[in-house]
Structure 1
Amino acid sequence: MSSSLAAVVLGLASAASWGAGDFTGGIASKRAPVVGVLVLGQAAGVTLILAAALLLHESVPAPATLAWSVAAGAAGAVGLAALYRALAVGRMAVVAPVSAVLSASIPVVWGALAEGMPSGSKLAGFVLALAGIWLIARAGPPGGGTEGLGLALVAGCGFGAYLVLMDRGAQGGTFWPLAAARGTSFALAVVVAGARRRPWAPPRHAVPLVLLSGVLDAGGNAFFVLATQAGRLDVAAVLASMYPASTVALAAGLLRERITRPQSAGIVAVLGAIALIAG
């Protein structure tokens, strides 16, 4: 398998894992406090990643390299906090697509600056993918206010920065940089949980689903890092950012949620984008 094809496969695996993690995490958040889902899920992800680093005897990168991963973890935590707050005060039809498209666009711009412009077919695939992500992530009727837009922009910037910084940190390894990033997110989640001074521990019946969401999130991160190591950052980031398609597909298949016409068009656009990017 060529490195470019490997990057495509790994990027799509990241999208599938992240989307499944969002799906299970969303269900878990209906059964347990969101902070508890974050803390326990991050703990599960960090444990899995540390175990992989130790079992594979991966060398610990230099502190300067790990610093990029720590910064990535902080950026991702800020993005997640901003997204949750934006969804609480704004409309999902505005918040979700703005944050998703912005988080995918930032690595594309950075990749063009750092690695040069991609080929014409890949560039067309990026544009089609961003349009598809927008349509899939959009929920509810168009129009209405723009509450939460500022926070959605912060969330998109946080997630986009995470992808760029994680790519830089992963130049020194795979699992130790991931452990540093997820460990940072876990520590921040614990601080938030402690500051709330309210019960946050998930009930026992929700724990397996919370743990599964954390494992799937960790898997998405690992596949993304491997994709950046196999190919270009922009290819890996755009493909990984297709995770809303996985979430929507699972919701339709398992929860019988209806896929709207815009979402159907978005899925078709994403499939066309994959063909262009992989070509």
Structure 2
Amino acid sequence: MTAVVLATACALVYGTADFLGGLATRRSRVLPVVALSQTAGLALILALLPLLPGALSGQALLWGLGAGLAGAGGLVLFYRALATGVMSVVAPVAAVTSAALPVLFGLATGDRPEPMALAGVALALGAVLLVSQDRSAARGGSFASVLVALAAGAGFGGFFVLLAMAPDGSGLWPLVGARLSSVTLVALIAVTTGRALRPGRGALPVIAAAGMLDMAANVLYLLAQRQGMLSLVAVLVSLYPASTLLLARQVLGERLHPIQITGVACALGAVALIAVA
């Protein structure tokens, strides 16, 4: 039950971070938002290290570095897919892939959830697909953009898998490694493309909040994964788009489409099934 609570809280915090990140991109270019939010997250995890101490080891940092590269690479590919395709195709492909990969990895490496929990996993994957639909976007999209979206989802899923491989006693050190590698990668992209990292006017507080919430969600994921099975924790965490949608509805007054409302209902059902299993 502890893992379910932590994973569900993680999804809520991830969704809030994504909502704030979306607001920030309305005031600033994408690269400064990514770079500065990642830096804010690094500052937070360094401050949290004394509160959740662990053994610093090469393994912890290496798994974290790999996770950070996978996550940052997935983000770059996701934006690339959006540039060449349409959100109504790219978003659900990436979302379901990022959810399915840790589930398959967990089952392949020994996770044996109860039948009711497996039903919850199936319902959750369907929920991710439904809430990621954007009917306001134009239809279409190239096959190449779908392949890039698959690769982006694999990057996001790889982030969860690689973090789960870090030693249990390593505390928050894997997240330090993950954030160091992602900040370095984004900085290299900025240098090689000659793009400035100055945020738009008034965007910095929102960017910092998004980055710190994203890191807080990472901490919740790491704690949840250590308490439960990866195949269940990761799929609960992947329900974060539902909270982003609800925030957009409440704060911005954005209209939810019936298919997305169905997805939110499926997400709640999935949490309930996994919790009682």
- TM bucket (normalised to shorter chain) is over 0.9
For 1:50, which of 23, 46, 50 is the aligned residue? 46
Q: Given the alignment of the two structures, is residue 74 of structure 1 paired with residue 31 of structure 2, yes or no?
A: no
Query: Partner amino acid for 1:221?
Result: N
User: Which stretches in structure 2 are left out of the alignment for 5+ residues?
Assistant: none
Residue 92 of structure 1: aligned partner: 87
Residue 176 of structure 1: aligned partner: 173
Q: Given the alignment of the two structures, is residue 151 of structure 1 paired with residue 148 of structure 2, yes or no?
A: yes
C-alpha change, 1:268 and 1:118, in structure 2 (3 Å) is: same
Q: Given the alignment of the two structures, is residue 194 of structure 1 paired with residue 191 of structure 2, yes or no?
A: yes
The secondary structure found in structure 2 opposite 1:32 is coil
Q: Given the alignment of the two structures, is residue 253 of structure 1 paired with residue 253 of structure 2, yes or no?
A: no
- Over the residues paired in the alignment, what is the CA RMSD in angstroms? 1.4
Shift of 1:146: 3.6
Query: Residues of 2 paired with 1:19 and 1:57: CA distance?
Result: 24
Shift of 1:204: 4.3
Shift of 1:236: 1.0
Query: Partner amino acid for 1:84?
Result: Y
C-alpha change, 1:170 and 1:93, in structure 2 (3 Å) is: farther
The secondary structure found in structure 2 opposite 1:115 is coil
Query: Residues of 1 paired with 2:15 and 2:167: CA distance?
Result: 22
Query: Residues of 1 paired with 2:13 and 2:77: CA distance?
Result: 22
Query: Partner amino acid for 1:133?
Result: V
Q: Given the alignment of the two structures, is residue 10 of structure 1 paired with residue 6 of structure 2, yes or no?
A: yes
Residue 32 of structure 1: aligned partner: 28
Query: Residues of 2 paired with 1:59 and 1:133: CA distance?
Result: 33
Query: Residues of 2 paired with 1:119 and 1:57: CA distance?
Result: 31
Shift of 1:89: 1.3
User: Which stretches in structure 1 are left out of the alignment for 5+ residues?
Assistant: none
The secondary structure found in structure 2 opposite 1:140 is coil
Correspondences of 1:128-139 after superposition (within 5 Å): 128-139=123-134
Shift of 1:277: 0.6
For 1:105, which of 100, 106, 109 is the aligned residue? 100
Query: Partner amino acid for 1:45?
Result: G
Q: Given the alignment of the two structures, is residue 207 of structure 1 paired with residue 220 of structure 2, yes or no?
A: no
The secondary structure found in structure 1 opposite 2:166 is helix
Shift of 1:183: 1.3
Shift of 1:200: 2.6
Identical pairs, percent: 42
Shift of 1:104: 0.7
Q: How many residues align?
A: 274
The secondary structure found in structure 1 opposite 2:141 is coil
Q: Is the 8 A contact 1:174 1:222 kept in 2?
A: no
Q: Given the alignment of the two structures, is residue 61 of structure 1 paired with residue 56 of structure 2, yes or no?
A: yes
Query: Residues of 1 paired with 2:258 and 2:156: CA distance?
Result: 27
In the TM superposition, structure 1's runs of 4+ consecutive aligned residues that sit over 3 Å from their partners are none
C-alpha change, 1:202 and 1:271, in structure 2 (3 Å) is: same
C-alpha change, 1:57 and 1:138, in structure 2 (3 Å) is: closer
Shift of 1:144: 2.4
Shift of 1:143: 5.1
